[in-house]
Structure 1
Amino acid sequence: MADERFPEIQGGGSLILAWQVRNKKVLVVGGGEVAAGRILNLLNADAKVVLISPRDGLNPEVAHRIERGQVTYHDKLFEPSDLDDPAITMVMTAVDDPEASTRIWKLCKEKRIAANIADVPPECDFYFGSVHRDGPLQIMVSTNGNGPKMANIVRRRIAATLPPNIGEAIAKVGALRKKLRVLAPGDEQGPKRMKWMSKVCVQWSLEDLCEMEDVDMNELLQGYVPDQVPSLSQVRSGEEPGVWQFDGSYGWSCVI
């Protein structure tokens, strides 16, 4: 019997993660239009891309990446020895030869390397979704292989409802969090830091967050110790009672 206190299990989904591939080597096999999209996603994630594809099959965008030195390029067909590099953490194939793709998939399984074989869901350890990007904000919509075009439609509809300055606001929040970690380091401060930052995100509008400058962040951080979140106007005026001001030392002082 189902317990209404807990959510029901909905099988058939994927575990959607933000995979950190910064400075990690990723092998891409194929140089067509699909490969161009894969390469762009990887470069946006600061991965080290190694590309294997005959030059006569290169997409113009892929050729551009090669000319700019944005990828490490090998003008040849894939060989099993290309997987011998222990630094390879991921493989993506985008070729028109199903048999060759399956061979690469099997080799990756033998070497326990995560792989994505384009347009062959059963031979994928992970999928790509339709992604909306605005600065640090990334939103992915996945249909788990049921309808890629529908994922694109849903993603566009979601993006249309977002404020145009949401990415900038998130970037400012990220800068504030970094400052907070400097002023209140230590794992024991973790729960309080999270709770205080949550208050800031709830109490400040997106417009306020976008407008927040470095000096405003320093003033706002004075409310951390007393667990207060003054408004942007209070931060800038310094005239409201209860506004905390940093006295320039490693401690805190309260101006009444």
Structure 2
Amino acid sequence: MMGNLNTFPLSFKVKGKRIIIVGGGDEALNKVRLVSKTTGSIEIYSPVIESDFSAFDAQIFTRALTPPDLIGAALVFVAEESDAAELAKVEARRLGIPLNVVDVPGECDFYTPSIVERAPLTVAISTEGDAPVLARLVRAQIEALLAPGIGKIASLAGGLRQKVESLIHDGAARRRFYEDLVTRPEMDRQAAENLLAAHAADGSGQGIVWLIGAGPGSEDLLTLRAQRLLQQADVIVHDQLVPAAVVEMGRRDAEQICVGKARGHHSFSQAQINALIVRLAKEGKKVARLKSGDPMVFGRAGEEIAALRAAGIDYDIVPGVSAAFAAAADTATPITLRQVSTGFVIATAHGAEDADLAHWAALAQSGLTLSLYMGKAIAAETAGRLLAHGAAADLPIGIVVNAGRADHQSYAGTLGALALGAVDFVDGPAVILVGRAVAHGDWTDAASAAADQFKVA
């Protein structure tokens, strides 16, 4: 059972009012940094000024505070121990001015929370003085979730309030407009006006589709932008390879549609997926099209973008960690390495022509690293075709299955061993790294492909 709060959270008006800081050291400076984010008038009182307050718009009085100085003040912060500080406490209490004594919770009328500031939007986190470090950690998480431009959107919403009420009379329709507005942090005044006109005309406005890279599967590899947009989406359209834990990071009431594509089985054709996301957006919904890895790498995003463009639907692309980069990170493999590998190639062998294999073989021989996305079923065949086109049999290879996840597994060997089918790796999405740079990774925990497993450099 949760306990009751000992404090009541509120926002205190200080516009045009005086805020008194008693102290001239670092504790006083910290409070000045905090209150300088407001439009209050800051006054600092201390006979000895030790810290540099020059970066702030504040009046500095190099003397002890006197009782008349407190008359009409809105807030008082005491940030030193002195006779003047004791006088400030007594007088603030006598005059009924809210008092904060730094690092002495028992003497405080109010606490200064950790603040996430996106003016005019503010989020305050308080532990009633018990755990300020925890408050700072929570603040960091909230900072990550709020787009930098969201404060500007809050101001836009306020400036449009009267016009919205005059154009949209239905409360639910107004709410839909505001939800649409505040989830587009890059919007300017003219774009907001256009959005309002669209909502006023059809009652819902047109939706948007976000093509989001879910990364290789671990929730903590999602980008901050991806997390924000998943929380804003009305519908999440996701691929089969996106783990349920990632999908569940979306809004609790968001509709979830799996358009799963697994080898040998497609529950939705690409044309059906295109039509689905277009229809949902035309219904005024915010659609998160969640794809494994990066949407622009083997995600058929180009076809979906073309469909959205043809339908006049707004879209945005959020990159994700592609499996090749996760595989390199899992095994500390430098896929580019000075004097060894000057670049790398990301490719898939599914449907590859002989000309493609010949090109890749030549690149591997020239020193580039190949990152091959393929299923287990064609790995040996592809390795054999690379050998046939001139790739060296002793080229190091590393295989990572479920890259970027806690259950990833790795295998190490040579291209020749792979061509012989000597690598029997578990089912799951696999990345095969081919090239001399692979031997410089950390494959000490990798299963051996064959007796000729390369030595870790």
TM-score (norm 2): 0.41
Give the aligned partner of residue 112 of structure 2.
128
Q: Distance in 2 between matches of 1:31 and 1:105?
A: 17
Q: 1:133 to 1:156 in 2, by over 3 A?
A: same
The answer to whether the aligner puts 1:169 opposite 2:150 as a matched pair is yes
How far 1:143 moved relative to its partner?
1.1
**Structure 2 CA distance, aligned partners of 1:170 and 1:193?**
26
Check if 1:37 corresponds to 2:30. Answer: yes
1:53–1:63 distance in 2 versus 1, CA, 3 Å: farther
Q: Which residue of structure 2 aligns with residue 13 of structure 1? A: 6
Query: Which residues in structure 2 correspond to 1:122-201 (within 5 Å)?
Result: 122-160=106-144, 162-163=145-146, 166-182=147-163, 184=165, 195-201=172-178
Count of aligned positions: 212
Q: Does the CA contact (< 8 Å) of 2:149 and 2:186 recur in 1?
A: no
* Cα separation, 1, equivalents of 2:25 and 2:174: 44
Question: 1:136, 1:167 within 8 Å by CA — same for their partners in 2?
Answer: no
Report the residue type matching 1:32 in the other structure.
G
Q: Does 1:215 align with 2:208?
A: no
Looking at structure 2, the residues matched to 221 and 242 of structure 1 have their Cα atoms a distance apart, in angstroms, of 16
SS in 2 for 1:72: strand
2:192 alignment partner AA: M
Offset, 1:16: 1.4
| Structure 2 runs not aligned, ≥5 long | 209-281, 285-457
Q: SS of 2:80's equivalent?
A: coil
Identity of aligned residues (%): 21
Amino acid in the other structure paired with 2:4: G
SS at match of 1:210: coil
Which protein has the bigger strand share? 2
1:231 aligns with 2:216: no
Question: Hey, what's the Cα distance between the residues in 2 that align with 1:205 and 1:114?
Answer: 34
- My pick for the range that moved more, 115-124 or 222-231, is 222-231
Q: Does 1:94 align with 2:94?
A: no
Aligned AA (2:63):
K
Q: 2:185 corresponds to which letter in structure 1?
A: C
Relative to structure 1, the CA distance from residue 30 to residue 173 in structure 2 (aligned partners, 3 Å threshold; closer, same or farther) is closer
Secondary structure, counterpart of 2:160 in structure 1: helix
Match of 1:112 among 86, 89, 96: 96
- Whether the aligned pair in 1 keeps the contact of 2:150 and 2:182 (CA below 8 Å) is no
Structure 1: segments with no counterpart, 5+ residues: 1-7, 234-240, 244-256
Give the number of the structure whose residues are more often helix, by fraction: 1
Distance 1:12 1:123 in 2: 17
Q: Deviations over 1:27-86 (max 9, x none)?
A: 1111111111211222211110111112x33312x2443xxxx11221101222322x3x
Q: Counterpart of 1:131 in structure 2: which amino acid?
A: I
Relative to structure 1, the CA distance from residue 193 to residue 138 in structure 2 (aligned partners, 3 Å threshold; closer, same or farther) is: farther
Where do 4+ consecutive residues of structure 1 move more than 3 Å?
A: 99-103, 134-137, 182-185, 191-197, 201-206, 223-227
Aligned to 2:49: 57
| Pairwise CA distance, 1:197 | 4.5
Cα distance, 1:125 vs structure 2: 1.3
**Deviation by residue 1:87-137 (Cα, 9 ceiling, x = unmatched):** 31221110133x653432221111111111112212211101222234544
Measured at CA, do residues 106 and 227 of structure 1 come closer, stay the same or move farther in structure 2, by a change above 3 Å? farther
Higher CA-based Rg: 2
Distance across 2 between alignment mates of 1:117 and 1:211: 40
Shift of 1:148: 1.4
Q: Does 1:73 align with 2:48?
A: no
Normalised TM-score (structure 1): 0.69
Letter in 2 for 1:140: A
Q: 1:93 to 1:173 in 2, by over 3 A?
A: closer
Q: Are residues 96 and 242 of structure 1, via their aligned partners in 2, closer, same or farther at CA, if it must alter by over 3 Å?
A: closer
Change (3 A) 1:193 1:143: farther
In structure 2, the CA distance between the partners of 1:100 and 1:147, relative to structure 1 (3 Å rule), is: farther
Determine helix, strand or coil for the equivalent of 1:26.
Answer: strand
Structure 1 contact 101–117 (Cα < 8 Å) conserved: no
Q: Is the 8 A contact 2:17 2:41 kept in 1?
A: yes
Q: Which residue identity is paired with 1:80?
A: P
Distance in 2 (alpha carbons) for counterparts of 1:121 and 1:183: 45
Q: Cα–Cα, structure 1 residues 14 and 226, in superposed 2: closer, same or farther, change >3 Å?
A: farther
- Is the 8 Å Cα contact of residues 127 and 135 (structure 2) preserved in structure 1? yes
**Closer/same/farther in 2, CA of residues 222 and 27 from structure 1, 3 Å limit:** same
Which has the bigger relative contact order, CA under 8 A and spacing at least 6? 1
1:248 matched residue in structure 2: none
